[in-house]
Amino acid sequence: MGIMTASSRARPAYSGRRTKAPLPPLLSRERELELTRRWRERCDRGALAEIVAAFDRLVLSNARRYRNYGLPLDDLVQEGHVGLLQAAARFEPERGLRFATYAIWWVRAAIQDFILRNWSVVRAGTTAGQKSLFFNLRRLRAQLDPEAERLSPASRVAVAQRLGVTIADVADMEGRLGGSDHSLNRRLDENGGEEWQDLLTCTRPTPEEEVGDRRQAASRRLWLTQALGDLPPHERMIIDHRRLREEETTLGVLGRKLGVSKERIRQLEERALRKLRQNLQEKIAAQA
């Protein structure tokens, strides 16, 4: 099993190496409003291209913040541009916001989602609190326990309270960030020999144990059916209504049905259970 290093969904081709081309000038508020309206109202691709070029520096600066997560910077930049396109499609100029203020959240969200998808074959976080924990745990650990490899119990409590997650979430995320995925077929040493999967223990029963369990279960069902058949009809009916149905019948209902008191039904139930228990114990002893 390998670690994913690229998103599975199709994305536009990216040029790869970034050259030091002159950056386009920043857009004025008036030009920004004009371009975003042209793209939203008329799907003007030229306007969209100018928006993307003008805010390329925004994408690049945010992508660089996440360089330490083991993914290529170009992939992070490409995902940031996906977020930028999403922002351009949803931006509402009449609200009075600058486009950069709005777009930065979409850019960061796209980059963070890409990192979470590719960090591990196990999903690292699904809720907003877990995502915040994933991207802030290293910084908080450096602040709270700068010299320790792992957070102290008190620091875990502090992180959980600050980010609104449970202490168990903090401990689990700390373990995930402390290691990477490994193939179960990876050798324990360079000279071959055992693989990681050879050290895994299986708690499931063996095929012989499963066959034996099925035979024992079938025997118990047969014994119980025979023991119930040995009971008088009224006791068998009481056991059926009180013990063998999904919704048990109350003592009062059975008493009215048989024309006796609730206490008498309780006595008959206890007597029937004693008979069943004795019958089954005799069958088990004979089987042994």
- What pLDDT digit, counting tens, does each position of 175-231 carry? 666 555 555 666 666 666 677 666 667 778 788 888 888 888 888 888 888 888 889
Question: Are 29 and 79 in a shared domain?
Answer: yes
pLDDT of residue 79: 92
Which DSSP state fits 93? G
Q: Give the residue with greater pLDDT, 151 vs 242.
A: 242
Measured from the Cβ of residue 78, the count of other Cβ atoms closer than 10 Å reads 23
pLDDT of residue 203: 75
Question: Are 164 and 246 in a shared domain?
Answer: no
Question: Are 50 and 106 in a shared domain?
Answer: yes
Give the tens place of pLDDT for each residue, 131-147.
777 777 767 777 777 77
The number of folded domains in the chain is: 3
Average pLDDT over residues 114-140: 67
CA gap 174, 170 in Å, rounded: 6
Give the tens place of pLDDT for each residue, 144-168.
777 776 777 888 888 787 777 788 8
CB 16 within 8 A of CB 76: no
Q: How confident is the model at residue 48 (pLDDT cuts 50, 70, 90)?
A: confident
The answer as to whether 148 is a domain residue is yes
CB 129 within 8 A of CB 166: no
Question: Are 102 and 156 in a shared domain?
Answer: no
pLDDT of residue 199: 67
List Cβ neighbours of 7 (8 Å cut-off, separation of 6 or more): 75, 79, 114, 117, 118
pLDDT of residue 60: 92
Measured from the Cβ of residue 53, the count of other Cβ atoms closer than 10 Å reads 14
Judge residue 81's burial from the number of C-beta atoms within 10 Å of its C-beta, 0-12 exposed, 13-18 middle, 19 or more buried. Answer: buried
Question: Are 170 and 223 in a shared domain?
Answer: no
Question: Are 115 and 132 in a shared domain?
Answer: no
Q: Which of 103, 119, 135 is the last residue of a domain?
A: 119
Question: Are 115 and 126 in a shared domain?
Answer: no
CA gap 55, 100 in Å, rounded: 8
Average confidence score pLDDT of the chain: 79
Which DSSP state fits 196? G
Q: How confident is the model at residue 80 (pLDDT cuts 50, 70, 90)?
A: very high
Question: Are 48 and 131 in a shared domain?
Answer: no
Q: Give the residue with greater pLDDT, 220 vs 263.
A: 263
CB 78 within 8 A of CB 30: no
Q: What is the SS3 assignment for 192?
A: strand
Q: Look up the domain containing 257 and give its range.
A: 210-287
The answer as to whether 11 is a domain residue is no
Q: How confident is the model at residue 16 (pLDDT cuts 50, 70, 90)?
A: very low
